[in-house]
Amino acid sequence: MTDQPQVAIVMGSTSDWPTMKEAADALDVLAVSHEDLIVSAHRTPDRLYEFAKGARARGVKVIIAGAGGAAHLPGMVASMTSLPVLGVPVQSKTLSGLDSLLSIVQMPKGVPVGTLAIGTAGAANAGLLAASILSISDQDLAARLDAWRQAQTDGVVECPPSQPMTD
């Protein structure tokens, strides 16, 4: 047994946390352990190298990497580990995250990053997808994930709420 969380959530800046917290929340709901780390491809390259090179040996199973703008973090992590890397484009102020998306999704053949949607939906889905990957070899987690999905389905009403009549 190890205390090492199964999922590592890394992000380029503290400013990414409001977005990346959605991934953490999704994992918490499904009782999947995670560590949350600031690792900048540009400002802390040595930390990036140490993290990515050591992740598998430490017992990390899936990596979620979020960054905005010139979002090189997910790709650089993927270049240094064969663990699954899920990339979350954080919505940037100047280009609304299109820069982040294109930076993350256009990986060269041979170094995959599973790229999610821009922003909080992408981060939440990264958490769900990480859980889904782990559920392949964890039947209890598969059951929790299926129950969560069923609750989501059950929560979708058939009609919108009635509007008060005007005039």
Going by the annotation, the residues of the binding site for substrate are: 13, 16, 43
Q: One symbol per residue from 4 to 23: x for binding ligand RP5 (CB under 6 A), - otherwise; what is it?
A: --------xx-xx-------
Pairing label, strands 7-11, 34-38: parallel
Check residue 52 for interaction with ligand RP5 (CB under 6 A). Answer: no
Quote the least distance from Cβ 86 to ligand RP5, whole Å: 15
Query: How large is the C-alpha radius of gyration of the chain?
Result: 17
Termini Cα distance of the chain: 67
Q: One symbol per residue from 67 to 106: x for binding ligand RP5 (CB under 6 A), - otherwise; what is it?
A: xxx--------------------x----------------
| Binding-site residue positions | 13, 16, 43
Check residue 113 for interaction with ligand RP5 (CB under 6 A). Answer: no
Nearer to ligand RP5 by C-beta: 68 or 127?
Answer: 68
CA torsion sign for 23, 73, 129, 51 is negative
DSSP E strands in the chain: the ranges are 7-11, 34-38, 62-68, 85-90, 114-115
Q: What DSSP element (H or E) covers 115?
A: strand 114-115
Place of tokens 């940037």: 92
> Contact positions toward ligand RP5, by CB under 6 A?
12-13, 15-16, 40, 67-69, 90
